[in-house]
Amino acid sequence: MRNSLVLCATLGLLTALPTLGQDSQQDQSRRPRQAQRQRGRENRNAERRPTVAPTHRDLKYGPHGRNLMDVWLAKSDKPTPVLVSIHGGGFRGGNKSVEAGLLQACLDSGISVAAITYRLSDEAIAPAQFLDSARAIQFIRHNAQEWNLDGTRIAATGGSAGAGISLWLGFHDDLADPDNEDPVLRQSTRLTCMAVYNGQTSYDPRFIRDLFPDTDIYKESALAQLFGVDLNKLDDLPEEKYRLFEEVSALPHLTKDDAPAALFYASKLDTPITSQGIGIHHPRFGKALKEKMDEIGIECEVHTGTSRGGESSKLTVDFVKKHLGVE
């Protein structure tokens, strides 16, 4: 859009005033449509926002400014399982959130919910976002008794970057440090299951280049910022960057004792790769994970052509309830 405006301005200097008037009329005719689309987006976002006030708002779970979470505690006489919602935003934006319907369905089923945020990549490159999220899981377990939670039953959900973090938590070795002087860090980071939307199963640009040959998906600017690298020089980076790619990708950590996963995608497997946005959220990521999980015998569901919100939320609740042992 910015390039279009610059081009119009340049042409305007070279053409007659009537043409400028025509351009102005075209701009004016577009404005109502743009405003309508913006109102539509705002209305959809409003529908997704929780209408239930959290039991605990803006709890600080770590030392950094964005180490915050909201917690909704389900009413129960017995300790409840927990679903942790991790936001997306390309690691460059976003804030703690949970879809309203998903939240209500969980609370009605006796599942407590936490929504977290983490440091963004303009503040700290990877693995900061992943370690922050791991600490959030540990913080929840640290407070399990006080909040009437069952710390042995914790699931995670999220979209895009939040999906990738959720899968990473589910497959990574436990980061618990039993002898740490910080009691939070003594807790386990492991999950019971994950149910995610439009998720990337690897953030390694080399993997992505192979997954989408003859495209520039691997040069996604959010990845360049996440790792602090120039992806035009992918084959000539310091060795520690390649290790970092692998460390924060879910797939390399997958072993036979890991948690089951459900992945939902807006696109279908045959959806053409016509943009980086479509590619980086494509179900080819889920297909690659399912093939490996099938090989080692861990349950993995991949649903394509699934709408965000109602449909994916229902499937998420069903999957989470099944693995958290909630009737």
Length of the chain: 327
Contacts of 73 (CB under 8 A, 6+ apart): 55, 56, 80, 112, 147, 148, 149
For 244, the enclosing helix (H) or strand (E) is helix 239-247
Tell me how far apart the alpha carbons of residues 313 and 233 are, in angstroms, rounded to a whole number. Answer: 40
Q: Is the pLDDT of residue 270 over 90?
A: yes
Confirm if 212 and 287 have CB atoms less than 8 A apart.
no
Please tell me the CATH superfamily of domain 54-324, with its number: Alpha/Beta hydrolase fold, catalytic domain (3.40.50.1820)
How many CA atoms lie within 13 Å of 259's alpha carbon, on the beta-carbon side? 31
Tell me how far apart the alpha carbons of residues 251 and 24 are, in angstroms, rounded to a whole number. Answer: 51
pLDDT given at position 327: 85
Angle at which helix 17-48 crosses helix 2-12, to 10 degrees, equals: 170
pLDDT given at position 48: 57
Q: Which residues pair with 56 in a beta bridge?
A: 71
- 158 dihedral zone (left: phi>0; alpha: psi -120 to 50; beta): left
Pairwise pLDDT comparison (35 vs 15), residue with the higher score: 35
Averaged pLDDT, 288-302 = 98
pLDDT digits (tens, 9 = 90+) for 130-148: 999 999 999 999 999 999 9
Identify residue 28 by its one-letter amino acid code. Answer: Q
pLDDT digits (tens, 9 = 90+) for 96-143: 999 999 999 999 999 999 999 999 999 999 999 999 999 999 999 999
Averaged pLDDT, 180-187 = 98
Q: Which residues pair with 157 in a beta bridge?
A: 85, 195
Tell me the domain boundaries of the chain.
2-45, 54-324
Closest CA to 261 of 225, 236, 296, 230: 296
pLDDT given at position 41: 44
pLDDT given at position 50: 76
pLDDT given at position 12: 36
Averaged pLDDT, 155-181 = 98
Main-chain dihedrals φ then ψ at residue 195, nearest 5 degrees? -135, 110
In the DSSP assignment, the letter for residue 99 is -
Q: Is the pLDDT of residue 216 over 70?
A: yes
pLDDT given at position 14: 32
Q: Is 262 helix (H, G, I), strand (E, B) or coil?
A: strand
Confirm if 74 and 111 have CB atoms less than 8 A apart.
yes
